[in-house]
Amino acid sequence: MKTWITLLLIILCTFSSLTFAAVKGSSKTTVATLITYSQYGQGDVVFKLAAPEESCPDGYWMKKADPGFEANLSVLLSAYHAKSKVIARGHDDKVWAGSAGKYCLLYSIELYL
Query: Is the model's pTM score more than 0.85?
Result: no
> Tens digit of pLDDT for each residue in 91-105?
999 999 988 999 999
Q: What is the mean pLDDT of residues 56-74?
A: 95
CATH of 24-112, one of 1.10.3720.10, 3.40.50.970, 2.40.50.110, 2.40.30.10: 2.40.50.110
Q: Which of 44, 52, 48 is nearest to 97 (CA)?
A: 44
Question: pLDDT tens digits, residue range 26-38?
Answer: 999 999 999 999 8
Contacts made by residues 80-83, CB under 8 angstroms, sequence distance 24+: 80/30, 80/31, 80/34, 80/47, 83/30
User: Do the Cβ atoms of 106 and 23 come closer than 8 Å?
Assistant: no
Per-residue confidence (pLDDT) for residue 16, from 0 to 100: 47
Mean pLDDT of 30-51: 94
